[in-house]
Structure 1
């Protein structure tokens, strides 16, 4: 199956409504099969956050244009160093080619030109994959209703636990507000992403610029 085809996505584990775990294991597999650097240094986890954030071309949508409102969404972004290779977005929930160039993914899925209500701002938490893979944990409690029933069936494998025995910290990744948006630029911003457990938060205007600066 060719990279860039929807069929290629079938090679990766995907559980609907568990995007953060899908991205975790996607990063691991891209490293293991040689599509990414073995240490994941060319991979980044991207948590898109906004209460009821609209994204287009999503498989879970019941609309022809594929739009759906997520509380948050996570994808993997790959930035190969050197040359003119485009940044790639790996989104297992998308109906676009898998992976898709970042520029087309932004224009087709995020649609910055779409006017949100003035009180809303789309925010993106960008994390370096090597740190994300060492630090992320989820016991899936966010997917249970007040009576303890599953809102959506969980993956069949065991929940992700950090080596230090942390069992849940998803809330740290998805709790984002406009006040968290970084004002750093250039090398300082890249350094923060590479060294901070929770990476950095940026707005949609900073997203493509940030990845264009990574060599």
Structure 2
């Protein structure tokens, strides 16, 4: 992913998560989709999530213009942490206990990681903040077990026209899907408002649980979607 800072204020990148929480997860700046891929795997391996990842959902955030504002991001040069990403990827963990909040894992955030979903929405997405239409955000929700099977990236999107890296790649090998696919990142990050579901219902949940590329929803539907998962 690439950024566009909104001014030249001093960077804000303080870590306010519990000590050691974020540092145990692999993280390469500007490769959020790969960071979330390995985050999901480690949450399963460490017993923080279910072993099959069925309580995890990978969420791509973008729009047609590839310009989405998010607050409290470490890469920001503003005191409020706002930045324009072309796209961003986070992980939401569904909590089975009704009295516990769903959790957002965002390794690029200055908020505690994980953060309760409602707090993350209020602080990072800020739905009450009026945005111009070109900055309206779309959310692609993908069930983590499907993402871990089918996602692939050869990192071509991180090279310029001359073949040079826009940002240094991770040291590990590129991710290849179980079926041998080498690159399908565009299938996840390309979004159109006309494909956003009109209403959230049981069929929306079923589609997320069965479609490898998930379902597109609006930001106003995000918390409603997770309230409908049993």
The question of a shared fold, defined as TM-score above 0.5 by the shorter chain, is answered with yes
Task: Name the TM-score, length of structure 1 as normaliser.
Answer: 0.96
Higher mean C-alpha deviation, range 159-168 or range 136-145? 159-168
Q: Report what 2:94 is aligned to.
A: 79
* 1:155 corresponds to which of 160, 163, 170: 170
Q: Report what 2:26 is aligned to.
A: 13
Q: Report what 1:201 is aligned to.
A: 216
Q: Does 1:128 align with 2:170?
A: no
Q: Report what 1:173 is aligned to.
A: 188
1:81-129 per-position Cα deviation (integer Å, ceiling 9, x unaligned)? 2331111000000010010000000010011112111344210000000
Query: Quick check: 2:91–2:104 contact (8 Å CA) kept in 1?
Result: yes
Partner of 2:96, secondary structure, is: coil
Query: Quick check: 1:6–1:98 contact (8 Å CA) kept in 2?
Result: no
Task: Name the TM-score, length of structure 2 as normaliser.
Answer: 0.89
Q: Report what 1:35 is aligned to.
A: 48
Partner of 1:9, secondary structure, is: coil
How many corresponding residue pairs?
212
Higher mean C-alpha deviation, range 83-92 or range 32-41? 83-92
Partner of 1:11, secondary structure, is: coil
Query: Quick check: 2:200–2:221 contact (8 Å CA) kept in 1?
Result: no
> Over aligned residues, Cα RMSD in angstroms?
1.1
Q: In the TM superposition, what are the counterparts of 1:86-125 in structure 2 within 5 Å? A: 86-125=101-140
What is the CA-CA distance between 1:182 and the residue it aligns to?
Answer: 1.1
Structure 2 residues not aligned, in runs of 5+: 1-16
Q: Distance in 1 between matches of 2:129 and 2:76?
A: 18
